[in-house]
Structure 1
């Protein structure tokens, strides 16, 4: 009798154990399926905001466009370039008002803060409070990575180091740099390859990408910049293709030599670690009149790129807030059309 009771008890425990295990597996399968659904639902493209979209708010009238004054003041007393009503340290909150949670900083707005760790600690707290992350830092006025002088090129690389460090501290994935220099296209290309390799090596030690924008001059020639990327051939060195920066040569009347922007985007996208959606003016339907955003996004999608597309409004008709909102609406429509 006792043996029968023991056998019955063991059998009952076995049944309970099996049912519990089955339920546990069922819950595990449900969690796995839910996780897979979440992964599938993650959008290929997300929208970030480039800080240059607010450059008038920060710089004000800029002494009526006097860039010579700007460059001189930037070196001597960098905070004095900020003649506008807005403060660059408030950028996280400014972006969050648009429902955007990733921002792209411009180093010239913080030029005097490069060695101010307390400032960056406070800035990171502001980002956290606003629910915003820093995606990249756009770096200018640090020298030419394609400088013909090897020593000057080395100094330029070293000037970028502190911004790589800041990017790492803020949790960014990249700094944006310029492949500029003096000389023939071939000479500047060779020097830029060397400069980018040097900086790329340092960036790799910090887990930061070094990305080059088509930003005027030779760099706005898609074939030229893509050739540099192929020559550098480093995992953490890539491009930041900009919809609207394909003017190779300017004159007093505007752009004297413009590269085909759609061809250029197609050439640069294989190396892209970010995308800049430049906008200026819009028609009554909300389309950008200089760039076909739908065609551009098709190029971006076909390249296999997945990640952030940054709004960079530079127009004069709409206010900066209105221009950002218009670009955001257009980008969302374009993204929805190809998802």
Structure 2
């Protein structure tokens, strides 16, 4: 990373503060309108709280060159209570501003919007289940700064991946070691380490829940995603064409809910009635409610037929509609 001279730092700090002021002022009227609508409607609140996963807006950042610092204000505008950050969407900002400045700026912006920072999704910091202990330990060390960031932001968790090997016999030993070491550090910061069904053996609910049980720490849990059930991809790749899926995603979600501290509402496409074409939201929400979960459900739209904002709002509307059908 190239050093940044003081004048540049001053300019970046000024821009960050200007952004915070602009966002806060620009949304004050909108916030009052939204509050008024809630009072008029007088509807009973759902059993869960609504957050948005930043991956739903990754095209805004990567293809439209939008600022990821606008995330909290975008979430507020669309009626969400909380945000779930994606660390890889801040790579350029970290390179320019420095890690601590980015995290401090996110805290100021979210506070100005009255938005709750829920968790950070961590990618590309090494494989916590790498069979090579030296590489696995390095991955643990790389994740620690994100644990610190989560604490600073007021998040309750980080979401991690469990890549490294897709050999179940090797994985069941290496993943437990990596997760335990990271969870031990995270416990000192009062932060949870959550495993999402995010491909390979993490999408095998039976194997994942056994690993969580073997770690046997209160702050090591799960983030069940409605989608993401591919356990094997073509040519052994982490991403790409799926060759094998976990046989029963509803069973998988139910199993993972036993240790869930977050939930991700994945969506890909919708029919003419606003229902997700591959996932039964009402059935899934019943599982969530029956498990006694009352925390945040994060909207994560990954489709390509609607714009990101349209897909996000369609997913949010479907969650609320499905929740009403349970009553």
* TM value normalised by structure 2: 0.81
Superposed CA deviations along residues 213-264 of structure 1, whole A, max 9, x for unmatched, are 0111111111011111111111000000000010112239932211121111
Q: Do residues 290 (structure 1) and 270 (structure 2) align?
A: no
Q: Secondary structure at the match of 1:249?
A: strand
| Aligned equivalents of 1:183, 1:212: Cα separation in 2 | 15
Superposed CA deviations along residues 9-40 of structure 1, whole A, max 9, x for unmatched, are xxxxxxxxxxxxxxxxxxxxxxxxxxxxxxxx
| Aligned equivalents of 1:183, 1:131: Cα separation in 2 | 41
Unmatched 5+ stretches in structure 2: 1-43
Which stretch shifts more, 296-305 or 192-201? Answer: 296-305
Q: Taking structure 1 as reference, are residues 43 and 321 closer, same or farther at Cα in structure 2, changes over 3 Å only?
A: closer
| Aligned equivalents of 2:233, 2:135: Cα separation in 1 | 26
| 1:182 aligned residue | 165
Q: Do residues 167 (structure 1) and 156 (structure 2) align?
A: no
| 1:77 aligned residue | none
Q: Do residues 243 (structure 1) and 226 (structure 2) align?
A: yes
Q: Do residues 278 (structure 1) and 258 (structure 2) align?
A: no
| 2:309 aligned residue | 321
Q: Secondary structure at the match of 1:301?
A: helix
| Aligned equivalents of 2:257, 2:151: Cα separation in 1 | 24
Q: Do residues 207 (structure 1) and 207 (structure 2) align?
A: no
Tell me the CA shift for residue 118 of structure 1: 2.4
Matched residues, number: 276
| 1:158 aligned residue | 141
| 1:265 aligned residue | 253
Tell me the CA shift for residue 42 of structure 1: 6.9
Cα contact 1:147–1:192 (8 A) shared by 2: yes
Tell me the CA shift for residue 119 of structure 1: 2.5
Cα contact 1:148–1:183 (8 A) shared by 2: no
Tell me the CA shift for residue 182 of structure 1: 2.0
| Aligned equivalents of 1:95, 1:335: Cα separation in 2 | 21
Structure with the larger RCO, 1 or 2 (CA within 8 Å, 6+ apart): 2
| 1:45 aligned residue | 48
| 1:95 aligned residue | 75
Superposed CA deviations along residues 121-164 of structure 1, whole A, max 9, x for unmatched, are 22211111111121000000011111111111111001000000
Q: Secondary structure at the match of 1:200?
A: helix
| Aligned equivalents of 1:195, 1:165: Cα separation in 2 | 18
* 2:111 corresponds to which of 124, 128, 150: 128
Cα contact 1:134–1:172 (8 A) shared by 2: yes
Tell me the CA shift for residue 43 of structure 1: 4.7
Cα contact 1:104–1:135 (8 A) shared by 2: yes
Tell me the CA shift for residue 44 of structure 1: 2.7
Q: Secondary structure at the match of 1:206?
A: coil
Cα contact 2:166–2:201 (8 A) shared by 1: no
| 1:12 aligned residue | none
Please provide the CA RMSD for this pair: 1.6
Q: Hey, which bits of structure 1, 4+ residues long, moved more than 4 A? A: none
| 1:336 aligned residue | 324
| 1:110 aligned residue | 90
